[in-house]
Amino acid sequence: MWSVMAIKVPGPKPIPPAALVTTTPSHPRAFITLPISELPGAEELKVDDKVYLQNMYGQPFPARVAALTDTEITFDANHEMAGKELNFRIELVEVL
């Protein structure tokens, strides 16, 4: 595993590209499947539509329609960047 601690200041050090790429996993428990009959208007939604759901305290949170059948709808409440490759470019300027 590569570490930023390997960089000496001053002077740049090449950073291996693989060290600056990460994938944030999506969490399986953030997928919520409900009967369409419990959600008025849900029959008009399509896969990939973005909606807001409410938690048990009434606070809204974003979700995406992940799957849809005649009787059920599955929402993905993971962060929109979950499961995607993230690339970073860093420059170490100073060590305190």
18-42 pLDDT, tens per residue? 666 666 778 888 999 999 999 988 8
Asked if residues 84 and 23 have their Cβ atoms less than 8 Å apart, the reply is yes
3-class secondary-structure state, position 55 = coil
- The residues that bridge with 51 in the sheet, in sequence order, are 63
3/19 Cα distance (integer angstroms): 8
Kindly report, residue by residue over 39-94, the tens digit of the pLDDT. 988 889 999 999 999 999 999 999 999 999 999 999 999 988 888 777 766 776 77
